[in-house]
Amino acid sequence: MEKRVRFKSGWLPWVLIAPQMAVVLVFFFWPAGQALYQSVLSQDAFGGSVQFVGTENFDRLFADDSYLNSFKTTAFFSILVASIGLSVSLLLAVMANRLMRGSGIYKTLLIWPYAVAPVVAGVLWLFMFASPMGVVAFFLRSMGFEWNHLLNGNHAMALIVMASVWKQISYNFLFFLAGLQSIPKSLIEAAAIDGASPWHRFWTIVFPLLSPTTFFLLVINVVYAFFDTFAIIDATTHGGPGKDTAILVYKVYYDGFKALDMGGSAAQSVILMVIVVALTVIQFRFVEKKVQY
Amino acid sequence: MIERRPGLDLLSHLILLLGVSIVAFPLYLTFVASTQTAEQISSSIPMSMLPGNHFLESYRLALFGGETSLGSKVPAVWPMMQTSLISALIISIGKISISLLSAFALVYFRFPFRNLFFWMIFITLMLPVEVRISPTYEVVSNLGMLNTYAGLTVPLIASATATFLLRQFFLTVPDELVEAARMDGAGPMRFFKDILLPLSATNIAALFVIQFIYGWNQYLWPLLVTTNEDMYPIVMGIKRMLAGEAYTEWNVVMATAILAMLPPALVVILMQKWFVKGLVDTEK
């Protein structure tokens, strides 16, 4: 879409767009270029000798078991966060949508975690499971379940999944609710007259019509699990025990700023960029499809 | 309502109440912990689930710092809240301002490389801070922007989402308004200020809510560019309280957590209408 009527000025548009372009060039394109450039260089930790090594950094990464494991950890983590987060929010949204009264109050009570910083979410959940005073850890122990996220990798994973899902429920809930409200009532009424039960109506009418929203949220949740959960992990498990919860973003940070392996960290950044580009392309393809639909 | 099913209504209420309580439980526990003393929390197993009577002490200690009863030092959170507020405001207002200007240029002018600029802004969507942390850090440190508000905010200020949202909105503004303005002799900046800005008010409010929360909740970026305690935002300070001492003062940490949540949560709840609009619009 284009405007028919425009202003004429040789210099004004350049001035108007200059601030945005300055930030974009200096803080996005230049560093991204640097990442690409450094990923093919090898540098010692003191910044002394630099040499071109081609794909060696990448070869080293893909030969590195801890990096490959980090991929698996990230995939496992994202699948858990997305699937649990989406099903819980969908359940709540469907329930809120069918109520005539009170859904506004429930909405207000469910959306505030969006405002909580991921690191604060991590601290809150850590507190519930911390030994010895953590309420939930105590409750589990009294039921004979020994909780220890400092030693047990599965427990640590469960902890970061719960904190991440908790933080994301409000977002998913709002989008599901908006999606549900846009489904024409007449369709559901027609099915009801034909004698379809609420359960049947949900799976044959509501759920298929909601699929664009679900797919959109799926992509958003995977992106969230990949990138925004860094703070949750840094607050709760530090990627441990061992490397059991070190997702890719945490590893980029750790290798670059703690282990000072710049080449390796830059190569990891490049791989992450490829992943983001792939996810964005998937998302936009889907958006186009939805317009036709 | 399609049909009356009282049983199902009851079930819906039960599920929603369960959901609301699971969502609210960590918050309640945080509040309870912030009203007790550190000894009360750590000595009773599990901690008491009822609010204690040390509310004022915990919050005074958290806000203004000082020595705890056990002698460990607690940093003051009040300056951190100021840092967070200032950077969140710079980020949100900055993002909205430069996006308004660039969307205006992209929609209302024809100039060389317009499409190139559009795509360059679009591509920044694919480069979140997390994927370019170390090179961006180098750029900021070369520019001497470590430990400054400029370093904390400017690298986060470019916004593809805000630019697109405003561009989409400007495209729906009727052309007749431009013609009328031109006929009355108004230049482009006059049109921008007197017609376009007032029309965009709701979009700006919606964007502000989202971007303010985004700015307030930044964690990874401040973690990299600040090494000076005066420049720590609260979200980062809370993490340092956990790591700093072997013995965690949970009551102060939890009071800080409440203080860190309060401003963005208030913004979300008080500006709920714009928040929902902003969320739905920026993502679609």
Q: Across the interface, do B283 and A128 touch by the CB < 8 Å criterion? A: no
Nearest-angstrom CA–CA distance, A227 and A276: 10
**What pLDDT shows up at residue B243?**
61
Query: What residues contact A110, with CB distance under 8 A and at least 6 apart?
Result: A92, A96, A169, A170, A173, B19, B20, B23
Is there a cis peptide before residue A241, judged by omega within 30 degrees of 0? yes
The arithmetic mean of pLDDT across residues A150-161, rounded, is 89
For residue A289, is pLDDT > 60? no
State pLDDT tens for residues A100-130: 777 788 888 888 888 899 999 998 898 888 7
Listed in order, strand segments (DSSP E) in B86-195 are: none
How far is it between the farthest Cα atoms of chain A? Answer: 78
Are residues B81 and B234 in contact, defined by beta-carbon separation less than 8 angstroms?
yes
**What pLDDT shows up at residue A58?**
83
Nearest-angstrom CA–CA distance, B164 and B216: 22
**What pLDDT shows up at residue B246?**
53
For residue A288, is pLDDT > 60? no
State pLDDT tens for residues A14-61: 999 999 999 999 888 888 888 888 778 776 655 566 777 777 778 888
Nearest-angstrom CA–CA distance, B207 and B202: 9
* A-chain residues near B97 (CB < 8 A): 19
DSSP per-residue string spanning B4-73:
--HHHHHHHHHHHHHHHHHHHHHHHHHHHHHTS-HHHHHHSSS--SS--S-HHHHHHHHHH-EE-TTS-E
Kindly identify which residue of chain B lies nearest to residue A89, measuring between CA atoms: B19
For residue A63, is pLDDT > 80? yes
What mean pLDDT is reported for chain A?
Answer: 84
**What pLDDT shows up at residue A293?**
36
The label of the residue with tokens 């580009």 reads: A277
Tell me, what amino acid is at B242?
A: L
For residue A64, the tally of other CB atoms under 10 A from its CB is 12
| Minimum distance, in Å, between the CA of residue B235 and any CA atom of chain A | 7
**What pLDDT shows up at residue A173?**
92
- A-interface mutation test, from B5, B8, B23, most A Cβ less than 10 A away: B23
**What pLDDT shows up at residue A292?**
36
**Which of B213, B238, B272 lies at the smallest CB-CB distance from A120?**
B238
Are residues B128 and A272 in contact, defined by beta-carbon separation less than 8 angstroms?
no
Q: Across the interface, do A99 and B13 touch by the CB < 8 Å criterion? A: yes
**Partner residues linked to A41 by β-bridges:** A52
- b/e string for B234-253 if b means 16 or more Cβ within 10 A? bbbbbbebbeeeeebbbbbb
Radius of gyration of chain A (CA): 24
State pLDDT tens for residues A124-141: 898 888 766 778 888 888
B43 vs A278, residue with greater confidence: A278
Indicate the SS3 state at residue B110: coil
**What pLDDT shows up at residue A172?**
92
Are residues B46 and A138 in contact, defined by beta-carbon separation less than 8 angstroms?
yes
State pLDDT tens for residues A165-213: 999 999 999 889 988 988 888 888 888 888 888 888 889 888 988 888 8
- B-interface mutation test, from A127, A141, A172, A217, most B Cβ less than 10 A away: A127
Are residues B175 and B108 in contact, defined by beta-carbon separation less than 8 angstroms?
no
| Minimum distance, in Å, between the CA of residue B125 and any CA atom of chain A | 8
Kindly identify which residue of chain A lies nearest to residue B168, measuring between CA atoms: A1
The arithmetic mean of pLDDT across residues A128-157, rounded, is 82
**What pLDDT shows up at residue B1?**
52
Q: What percent of chain A has pLDDT over 70?
A: 94
- Tens of pLDDT, residue by residue, chain B (284 residues): 566 778 888 888 999 999 999 999 988 988 888 888 777 777 776 677 777 777 787 888 778 877 766 666 777 888 899 999 999 999 999 999 999 999 999 999 888 888 899 888 888 877 777 777 778 888 888 888 888 898 888 888 888 888 888 988 898 888 888 888 888 888 889 999 999 999 999 889 888 988 999 999 988 888 888 888 888 888 888 888 776 555 677 888 888 889 999 999 888 888 888 888 777 776 65
Task: Determine the length of chain B.
Answer: 284
The arithmetic mean of pLDDT across residues A244-253, rounded, is 86
| Minimum distance, in Å, between the CA of residue A243 and any CA atom of chain B | 19
For residue A253, is pLDDT > 90? no
* B-chain residues near A231 (CB < 8 A): 219-220, 235, 239
For residue A291, is pLDDT > 50? no
State how far Cα B170 lies from the chain centre: 25
Query: What residues contact A146, with CB distance under 8 A and at least 6 apart?
Result: A140
**What pLDDT shows up at residue A16?**
92
Tell me, what amino acid is at A218?
A: L
- Label residue A276 by pLDDT band (50, 70, 90): confident
Which two three-digit tokens encode residue A105? 């109050």
For residue B35, the tally of other CB atoms under 10 A from its CB is 22
Kindly identify which residue of chain B lies nearest to residue A275, measuring between CA atoms: B126
Name the least confident of A125-129, A214-218, A281-285, B60-64.
Answer: A281-285
Query: What residues contact A22, with CB distance under 8 A and at least 6 apart?
Result: none
Indicate the SS3 state at residue B109: coil
Radius of gyration of chain B (CA): 24
* B-chain residues near A273 (CB < 8 A): 126-127, 131-132
Tell me, what amino acid is at B104?
A: F
**What pLDDT shows up at residue A43?**
65
Q: What values do phi and psi take at B130, rounded to 5?
A: -60, -30
> pTM of the entire structure?
0.86
